[in-house]
Amino acid sequence: MTVSSAPGKVYLFGEHAVVYGEPAVPCAIERRARVDVEERADDHVRVQARDLSLDGFTVEYTGTTDDRPDVDVPRPLVEAAMGYVDAAVDQARDAADAPDAGFDIVVESDIPLGAGLGSSAAVVVAGIDAATRELGRPLPPEELADRAFRAEHEVQDGQASRADTFCSTMGGAVRVEGDDCRTIDTPSLPFVVGFDGGAGDTGELVAGVRRLREEYGFAADTVATIGDIVRCGATLLREADPDAPPSETLLGELGRLMNFDHGLLEALGVSSRSLDAMVWAARDAGAHGAKLTGAGGGGCIVALDPTPESRTALRFTPDCEDAFRAELATDGVRVETGSGDTADRGDESESSR
């Protein structure tokens, strides 16, 4: 048996715009998905899912993963959980040249499903890593990130970017612009996450932005402006001392950019009352900046605040179900037990991948 884990992420800047080739800066956080994989003697795939913001379930099917299981769980939740596992299995089989490989798979996660924290990317990255190692074909980080992106791209009908899967593979902060993916050496930023207990429909939210962008020139300009915000923020991070605590000046400048970004995302129609309420609760409590993270429509916000004030305020906000501090995850995907060595996300800051 091989067990791999991969971190979730928050977007400092750039969600939605990254779909159109603009840059984005996601940061890995220490909330992880863990995938246990054991090879079987037949071509069956047996999946046991736990903690994916739904009731646990176990399914088994044979050969192709095209047939969906008949289980007592709402079908949309099964589709959400199983689609990414299926895609990870397909990529692992292809990478190891083992089309008939069977697996017993257990998925556990402390990342809320569909809430903007990269749960699907973490499951796919950890799943491909564990399965290929179990088959004796461990992948280098760059290939793993690429295959994980291809899996998400397939499941999301071509609307995925490389940002989530690259960040989950490499850890830390990364800058993604189209196919150009780079790590950034950055100070450990004081993230606070608020969660409204819900999840947005990523496909519909992405499609909604696409419709606005196609219909109105100013919506396309809004998307491009988000890209400009990302470039300013990435420059600030590159110029900061990664070995020193972030200065108040740096946090203030990053926070202002986050606030601009949230306003533009709200104008594009991807925020919600609960997300806006949490954003303003954090700002009123003294956060340097706060914005939604991920596709929006519900889920999570991220704030920059080294004090306990934002977390406390969020916990007393009616629209907030949970609030927690999220440390920057310097490790990306890693082996927890079983064969193989811990995956290395590389040594070079801002090195081209």
Catalytic residues: 164
List the beta bridge partners of residue 103: 39, 45
Given a contact cutoff of 8 angstroms between Cβ atoms, the answer to whether 176 and 166 are in contact is yes
Structural contact between residues 12 and 73, judged by C-beta atoms closer than 8 angstroms = no
Calculate Rg over the CA atoms of the chain: 19
| Cα–Cα nearest to 67, from 78, 57, 77 | 78
For strands 322-326 and 300-304, give the pairing. unpaired
Count of alpha carbons within 13 angstroms of residue 194, beta-carbon side:
35
Cα–Cα distance between 100 and 212 in angstroms, integer?
44
3-state secondary structure of 268: coil
Closest CA to 276 of 191, 196, 190, 192: 196
The structure tokens 């082996």 sit at 335
- Please name the residues in contact with 207: beta carbons below 8 A apart, sequence gap of 6 or more: 159
Residue 314 to residue 291: CA distance in whole angstroms: 13
d(C-alpha 273, C-alpha 266), whole Å: 10
Q: Name the DSSP class of 54.
A: S
